[in-house]
Chains A and B, each alone.
Chain A
Amino acid sequence: MLEFDGLHKSFGEVRVLEGVGFTVAPGSMFGFCGSNGAGKTTTMRIAMGLVRSDAGEVRWQGRPMDQASRRRVGYMPEERGLYPKMKVGEQVAYFARLHGLDAVAATKASEDWVERLGLGPRRDEQVEKLSLGNQQRVQLAAALVSRPEVLILDEPFSGLDPVGVDSLADALLGQVREGVPVVFSSHQLDLVERLCDSVGILARGRMVATGTVEELRRRGAGRLLRVVVPDAAPGWADGLGGARVVSEQAGDTLLELSPDTDDQSVLGAALRTGRVTHFAWQQPTLVELFREAVATPSTEEVAA
């Protein structure tokens, strides 16, 4: 387990993290969301030992992370960084060596990854001569080359074209299949929704929501039911007990049901008006959940 536990951090007067904690199981992908300045980068930097936390710790396999265990982490910083004048192959090999591979193994691993990420013909070119997309791949190669036990990636998808996004997603899913816990932060919530087993939303230095996408949906969904009845007269649902009409437009009706209302009774009422072309609990998208979580202080926060 990769555990982030009760992280606190202030920079001067500014309190950036106020008790951030979440857990990532081996072989699962954790999407770390939050608005700009919410503290995602600081959280990841604490894990990498680049920032010292005021309180709390990050543990891997039950032990607090130290320099040795961090060497087993593949890290991609938000601000991409490579030596601009170093050749692709040598650079990847250098990072492999910094992560503890010996010279022979590092060269071989570098060749493998450079090849696997489609950079084979670019191996002997200086990084600064590469396109941005290819530089991103070198960055990824540098993070993966040492066969890390953990991946911590800060905004790995930013700046990638759709093809690049797909190949990075494949690479990450491949790591997850091998049992590596992957944490990445992203603003692209559709990607998070698609790739991640669990999601954490960070706002104002706290985790305002964590869980699987499904759990978050159930929690955030409330009792919103969308019914489309093209033949119904306007106001068809006004008389239904336990259901409030949120919106209604040409039969496309959004209802909020009170907790004890049976959705089947609503379906019965709908059928009585004629055809029912759509009847389903409204699944809030992660974007909607995110907006809601970030916008309103949660009850825990108010209590705290």
Chain B
Amino acid sequence: MTAPKNLSSAQLVRLVAGREVATRIRDKGFIISSVVILLVIVAAVVIQVLTGSGDEESRVGLVGGDASLVTALEAQGEALDVDVEVVELDDEAAARTAVDDEDVDGALLAGDDELLVRESAGGTLEAIVQGAVGQLAVAQQLSDAGIGELDVPEVGVTALDADAAADGQRVVAAIFGVVILYSLLILFGQFIAQGVVEEKSSRVVELLLATMRPWQLLAGKILGLGVLALGQIVAIGVVAVVAALAFDVVEVPGDLISTVAIVIAWFVLGYAWYAAVFAVAASLVSRQEDLATVLMPTSMVLVVAFFIGIQAASDPGGLLARVTSYIPGLSPLVMPVRQAAGEVALWEVALAVVLMVLAIVLVVRLGGRIYSGALLRTGGKIKMREALAAERA
């Protein structure tokens, strides 16, 4: 038998982390939640494909009129980004039936210049029909007046804000990201908290602390679950990007990938902070039943951050989004949205990161002391002040 060695802090932390990983990846709840999240992502992309993407379509019934009207309708549709399909109908009665049956979106009675619709014509439909009829009438009158070929100058188009579409996609990706971030932070925060209470309620913590310091145990737990959480969010990011590219949802893959990378980077910071806070809060109680009470304040912060993040997507430059994107704890869910919207200077990101890192250091140091003081005290809920005092004792 080889002689037992003295262990360094890093080795102890790795042992604890290894146990966390080994225990979790065999836990059914963990496996199921991971699979469900991935399925939700794929489903969301598929729904995006089915509803949002592609051009609008419109079926227009036509009674009378000639080929030039059909061409004009289709040309108008193209100008307005609508796939117009013209259905030739025999008479007004047939047109009425077709509209009633919703076989067509509207029916044009060419002779009367009248558009039949079911309830009201959509703006585009009316514009298409009006445009087509008007264009033909003008052409007819010009031709009647003896002016055949008319030289109409073609308008050249220069897009001043070509990024707008890409920005939009990045923001959608960022909102997705915020939802994922929030879900994973809550999920892994719960895992950490449950793990801490399990060690306390089963009293195994006394045996653990006979071989290591509280901070080593805390660090091991956070790192172990952190590796899993990071693996999960990277897997989600990869699946989302691949699915989005495969289904042709995005036009600018580079932007999507950079947004995913930003979300993952903020997840690391957010996870470190929330995991430490959840662990320290959990150390104050000894029973799983008491957990909800001590986790409540932090969970509330996370929920608030989530809603601000979603709100920031619609108003990334707004005061609320700007201020909260610096506040540690809120920034991981707000800053990625602002970054995706492209309205943030580098120094702003740097400031938010620095503040967040400072907050993490503070929580780990102060929280670590509370954690140390509270671990060996069982019974009811311990006050933070008592835990700090006990740590010094």
A-side residues, CB < 8 A to B, are 11, 45, 48-52, 67-68, 70-73, 75, 77, 79-86, 94-95, 97-102, 104-105, 108-109, 142, 146-147
Contact = CB atoms under 8 A, between A and B. Distances in A.
Contacts of B213: 67
Nearest to B9: A67
Interface in B120-143: none
A105 B206 contact: no
Interface of A is mostly: loop
A68 B212 contact: no
Nearest to B216: A67
Given A70-B211, A98-B208, A100-B6, A108 B1 contact: yes
B23 interface: yes
A101 B15 CA distance: 11
Nearest to A86: B23
Nearest to A48: B210
By CB atoms of chain A within 10 A, which of B4, B12, B393 has the most?
Answer: B4
Nearest to B19: A94
Interface in B251-303: none
B374 to A, nearest CB: 13
Nearest to B211: A98
Contact of A83 (B12, B202, B378): B202
Contacts of B206: 50, 77, 79, 81
- Chain B interface residue count: which class? 20 to 34
B19 to A, nearest CB: 6
B4 A71 contact: yes
Interface string B203-221: 1111111111100000000
B207 A142 contact: yes
Contacts of B15: 94, 97-98
A147 B1 contact: yes
Nearest to A128: B202
Given A77-B203, A86-B23, A98-B15, A50 B209 contact: yes
Sort A-B residue pairs by CB-CB distance and give the 3 closest, nearest first: A81-B203, A100-B4, A81-B204
B203 A68 contact: no
Contacts of A99: 4, 211
Contacts of A108: 1
A11 B389 CA distance: 11
B207 A77 contact: yes
Given A48-B210, A85-B23, A98-B15, A72 B202 contact: no
Interface in B1-52: 1-2, 4-7, 12, 15, 19, 23
A82 B203 CA distance: 7
A104 to B, nearest CB: 8
B23 A147 contact: no
A52 B376 CA distance: 13
Interface of B is mostly: loop
Contact of A75 (B6, B19, B207): B207
Contacts of B1: 105, 108-109, 147
B6 A71 contact: yes
Given A99-B4, A102-B2, 4 more contacts: A94-B15, A102-B5, A109-B1, A142-B207
B377 to A, nearest CB: 11
24 contacts: A11-B393, A45-B376, A50-B206, A51-B376, A51-B393, A52-B393, A67-B211, A67-B213, A68-B6, A70-B210, A75-B207, A79-B378, A81-B204, A82-B202, A83-B199, A83-B204, A97-B15, A98-B12, A100-B5, A100-B7, A102-B5, A105-B1, A108-B1, A109-B1
A81 B2 contact: no
A84 B4 contact: no
B51 to A, nearest CB: 44
A98 B205 contact: no
Contacts of A80: 203
A151 to B, nearest CB: 12
B5 A75 contact: no
A79 B210 CA distance: 13
A224 B202 CA distance: 49
A38 B378 CA distance: 19
Contacts of B2: 101-102, 104-105
Contacts of A50: 206, 209-210, 376
Contacts of A86: 23
A51 to B, nearest CB: 8
Interface in B310-336: none
A168 B5 CA distance: 27
A228 B359 CA distance: 81
A29 to B, nearest CB: 20
A85 to B, nearest CB: 7
Nearest to A109: B1
Contacts of B19: 94
Contacts of A77: 203, 206-207, 210
Contacts of B12: 98
Contacts of B212: 67, 98
B85 interface: no
B287 to A, nearest CB: 14
B88 interface: no
Nearest to A68: B6
A101 B4 contact: yes
B209 to A, nearest CB: 6
A150 B204 CA distance: 20
B211 A84 contact: no
B4 A82 contact: no
Interface in B94-125: none
B167 interface: no
B8 to A, nearest CB: 11
Nearest to A85: B23
A49 B5 contact: no
